[in-house]
Amino acid sequence: MKVNDILIKRSLNAAINFSVIRKEGFKDKVRNFNESIDFIINLKDINLKDPKQRIDKELILPNKIITGDLPNMCIIASDEVLSEAKKRGLDTLDKNALEKMNNEEKNNKKKFVKKYEFFVVEDKLMRDVARYLARFLGPVGKMPKPFPSGYGIISNKEELNTAVERYKKVIRIQVKKQPIIQVKVGKKSMQNDEIFENIKAIVDYIADLLPHKFNHFKSMHIKSTMGKSIKISEEFLKNAGV
């Protein structure tokens, strides 16, 4: 599949345009929340039974996709790192709480893991995390990963502060059971150029991970949370009157 930057930009404009509710005879209606913009890639000719062709990575985008002050993350740490996390208003778990978590009901552990998008762990507690939570974090792709696959393991409070800022730009890319990637690339309130830069970074990154690069791209789509899915193709845009 050929990837055309101009076509991506036109499709992004269309996705944002179609997020507005339009009805003949009525004033255009914009939804009263800041919709997310999602980017979807359908892949082809990959064998997901082969672990080498599965993808489980974290990627830092050029622009922030977190519009609030803090990412949705839980810090598992001790001593100085724990104190710094609490000071910054982050949700935390210390070693004692982690051990208590092991005695919780299975459903409570699942709810806890589901509550957060990312988990960041101080390196000295990684063994405990693996012991008590790995069976719940692993299946949903939230097990903290060291660099270069991820950025979830830290050693000190300086690295914590770096991680907090970094995770405002980080997305998780997973291809495990189905040959499809769906990730958030921004918010409707962002500049279109910023969202495009994020999309372009993902496209290039995924292509570099695949043996035959863009030949594995079957189709790409962009949509807002409540809006119409826009296929990135000349024919689709023409039929949609864009």
192 in Cβ contact with 198 (< 8 Å): no
Helix (H, G, I), strand (E, B) or coil at 74: strand
User: Where is average pLDDT lowest: 23-37, 48-62, 118-132, 184-198?
Assistant: 23-37
Same domain, 148 and 209: no
Same domain, 84 and 158: yes
CA nearest to 227, candidates 71, 33, 61: 33
Residue 199 has pLDDT above 70, yes or no: yes
Same domain, 162 and 176: no
Residue whose tokens read 């063994």 = 127
Residue 82 has pLDDT above 90, yes or no: yes
Mean pLDDT of 185-191: 92
Number of Cβ within 10 Å of residue 226's Cβ equals: 12
152 in Cβ contact with 145 (< 8 Å): yes
Mean pLDDT of 30-58: 88
The confidence score (pLDDT) of residue 18 equals 83
The confidence score (pLDDT) of residue 205 equals 95
- What DSSP character marks residue 146? -
Number of Cβ within 10 Å of residue 144's Cβ equals: 24
The confidence score (pLDDT) of residue 30 equals 65
Same domain, 123 and 188: no
CATH of the domain at 225: 3.30.190.20
The size of the chain, in residues, is 242
The confidence score (pLDDT) of residue 103 equals 87
Same domain, 137 and 105: yes
Output the pTM of the full model. Answer: 0.87
4 in Cβ contact with 235 (< 8 Å): no
Number of Cβ within 10 Å of residue 168's Cβ equals: 17
User: How far apart (Å, rounded) are the C-alpha atoms in residues 129 and 191?
Assistant: 39
In total, how many domains does the chain have? 2
pLDDT band for position 227 (cuts 50, 70, 90)? confident
Same domain, 26 and 142: no
Domain stop point among 166, 189, 221: 166
In sequence order, which residues have a C-beta less than 8 Å from that of residue 163 and are 6 or more positions away?
A: 120, 151, 152, 154
Name the token pair of 237.
Answer: 């845009």
The parent domain of residue 230 ranges over 5-65+171-239
CATH of the domain at 96: 3.40.50.790
The confidence score (pLDDT) of residue 14 equals 93
Domain stop point among 166, 185, 215: 166
Same domain, 84 and 144: yes
β-strands 55-60, 170-175 pairing: antiparallel
